[in-house]
Amino acid sequence: MSDKFHKIYQQSIDNPENFWAEAANDVFWFKKPTKILNKSNPPFYKWFEDGVTNTCYNALDIHIDNGHGDKTALIYDSPITGNKSQFTFKELRQKVSKFAGALKNQGVQKGDRVIIYMPMIPEAVVAMLACARIGAIHSVVFGGFASNELASRIDDSKAKVLITASCGFEPGRTVEYKPLVDAAILQAKHKIDKLILFQRPGHEVKLNAPKEISFDEAMANAAETDCVEMNSNEYAYILYTSGTTGTPKGIVRDIGGHIVALKWTMKNIYNIDIDDVWWSASDIGWIVGHSYIVYAPLFKGCTTVLFEGKPVGTPDAGVFWKIISEYKVKSLFTAPTAFRAIKKEDPEGKFFSKYDLSNFKSLFLAGERADPDTIKWAENLLKVPVIDHWWQTETSWAISSNCTGIEMMKTKYGSACKAVPGYDVKIIKPDQSLAKPNEMGDVVVKLPLPPGTFPTLWNADQRYKENYMTNYEGYYQTYDAGHIDEDGYIWIMSRTDDIINVAGHRLSTGAIEEVLSEHQSVAECAVLGIADKLKGQLPIGLIVLKSGVDKDHATISKECVQMVRDKIGPVAAFKVAIVIKRLPKTRSGKILRGTIRKIADNEKFNIPPTIDDPAILNEIKQDLIKHQILNNG
């Protein structure tokens, strides 16, 4: 490690209380904390225990107090609808404080839960911040999510109010929200008190008074409302992730640590200052949207972009460059999948040359492992650092990254760089011993986790302990597998359940995918282990080709198999690479490897509620049957 970064990192590990107490000085407090870390009841650690603050005050009011009220806080751009708008901090606060009053009019009080089921529109951001203003706990559910999944979140959170819109837009189709919401309300055992619905112009729906009210009607009768004082350890939000038992896990975020950590990351990790324009191309239904569309940039006081569109198809593979150019975006944060989609549609980067990206300084990728080929393609095109960093819904901010605001480190392709200050990352082998450099194992983080991570699960302390804190005593289990090299660089190779066992050899699917991605015709790929009576598991590769490739598929498959044999060796027993049209993914861009594996092994599976297009699963099944892969065990 270089001296500057190493010194700061070591301070955070050796004396975390001093480190985070100093970071907390950059935050507005009604009452400044004197108890920085309570370690009396592990694994339930409490940061800034006696501090009193408010999330919305730190996102909006503080900047107005500091004379920046006329600065642009939020840019909204929707290539799908053609709508654009911008809001200063004053304008955004006015809308938020009024909607906070509207929520109070509907009986919402401090500690009540509010579900937000909305598309990527400014009203969604307003709703989140309005909840924070009055101390309500919001739970954002991705707009268009299946009714049964929405119902399960209504039941688990016992939400008082549900905020939604008449519809959302996907390329080429309209997703009607009201029928989905109606079905969820019908299925849910817990009954909400009120539905507030934003009518999208041209797509208005009928509302059933008095339980249902339009967003505009709710606002019309509301008075502006001040921020409520909140204890640091009260909850800002619940964000549900799908649990393996079928019961969703409610990740909670405590208010004080959330503000301190996220504000710290904007400069130290992303090198963003108050006058910069920041864009996170994600969705508010995911953790990236919570942390880096809404909260972190607004805590910092910079300008954040809210984008309702896709990397391709709205209208073309140049839309990212258009947004960056038009708004002078300094840094973009998106998923590797987005760049693989752009690379597939425009491998030569022809759209790129149409736009002025002189203000653009860095690209950050996270959500799935960024394969070296995609990073190199983006570097060659953009001529800026392309940084793969690693984090999770549970942590809400990066566990490992190139901390560009502290000191730029060299890139190691395939690595998510080094542990960020606050995270003491280790690799533990199946026999519970600590791994040596470059040895594969489970990636864990020594407790206590830093501020801004998850202190527990919603109403499920025992599940929190058993799921995350029990397998390796004194450590948080990330359920990712990988290794740390001799220079301290972290290599996240796969989820723990994507480690495959071929004749006693533990192989990472990520390592094989890395090789396949290097083939000049491959746009993206997935590798999974299927059951085999002789070897336990065998890896197969599914590959999607770049647009315009007319080379024989059988030839490409043979070349891919040979590349894996050359670079990883015969031990991988890699003999099958199938060319397919598209890969099944979640709406956040993660490839559904576990579901594909169950299809291949002829096991029962549920259609994941997060899937982007369920029809792909049948396509995959037909491809596997065609290549005689199905039930190969």
Domain endpoint, select from 449, 482, 515:
482
* Domain end call among 414, 449, 482: 482
Are residues 117 and 167 both part of a single domain? yes
What tokens does 513 get? 């995918």
Mean pLDDT confidence for 215-232:
97
Q: Which domain holds residue 28?
A: 3-309+389-482
Whole-number pLDDT of residue 245: 44
In a domain, 362, yes or no: no
> Same domain, yes or no, for 467 and 538?
no
- Residue 151 within any structural domain of the chain: yes
* Domain termination site, one of 423, 448, 482: 482
Residues 513 and 393 in one domain: no
Residue written as token pair 């606060």: 93
User: Taking Cα atoms as reference points, which of 314, 385, 381 lies closest to residue 350?
Assistant: 381
Q: How far apart are CA 400 and CA 567, in angstroms?
A: 27
Query: What is the distance between the alpha carbons of residues 240 and 153, in angstroms, rounded to a whole number?
Result: 7
DSSP assignment of 259-284, as one string?
HHHHHHHHHHTT---TT-EEEE-S-T
Q: Are residues 399 and 438 in the same domain?
A: yes
pLDDT in tens, 301-343: 999 999 999 999 999 999 999 999 999 999 999 988 889 889 9
pLDDT at site 528: 86
Is residue 373 a part of any domain in this protein? no
Are residues 103 and 61 part of one domain? yes
Helix (H) or strand (E) holding 89: helix 89-105
Inter-residue contact 368 to 336 (CB < 8 Å)? yes
**Domain count along the chain:** 2
Burial class of residue 565 in the structure, from the number of CB atoms within 10 Å of its CB (0-12 exposed, 13-18 middle, 19+ buried): middle
Residue 321 covered by a domain? no
For residue 84, being part of any structural domain is answered with yes
CATH number, position 541: 3.30.300.30
Spell out the SS3 assignment of 101-163.
Answer: HHHHHCCCCCCCEEEEECCCCHHHHHHHHHHHHHCCEEEECCCCCCHHHHHHHHHHHCCCEEE
Give the amino acid at 467: N
Among 131-140, 214-223, 430-439, the range scoring the smallest mean pLDDT is 430-439
Question: Is the pLDDT higher at 496 or at 122?
Answer: 122
> How large is the average pLDDT for residues 493-500?
67
How many residues are given for the chain? Answer: 633
pLDDT of 499 reads 63
Percent of the chain with pLDDT strictly greater than 70? 95
Statement to judge: residues 293 and 201 lie in one domain: yes
42 with 189, same domain? yes
What pLDDT digit, counting tens, does each position of 378-415 carry?
A: 999 999 999 999 999 999 999 999 999 999 999 999 99
Does residue 234 fall inside a structural domain?
yes
Do 13 and 124 sit in the same domain of this protein?
Answer: yes
User: Per the domain annotation, does 276 fall within a domain?
Assistant: yes
**Nearest in space to 16 (alpha carbons), one of 446, 456, 472:** 446
What predicted TM-score, i.e. pTM, was given to this entire model?
Answer: 0.86
User: 50: domain CATH number?
Assistant: 3.40.50.12780
- Give the containing element (helix H, strand E) for 463: helix 461-468
Q: Considering only 50-54, 89-93, 344-348, which range has the smallest mean pLDDT?
A: 344-348
* 204/104 same-domain check: yes
Same domain? 129 vs 214: yes
CA distance 531 to 540: 11
Let me know whether 557 and 468 are in one domain: no
- Tokens 């972190």 identify what position? 296
The sign of the torsion formed by the CA atoms of 228, 231, 236, 240 equals negative
Does any domain span residue 333? no
Indicate if 124 and 22 belong to the same structural domain: yes
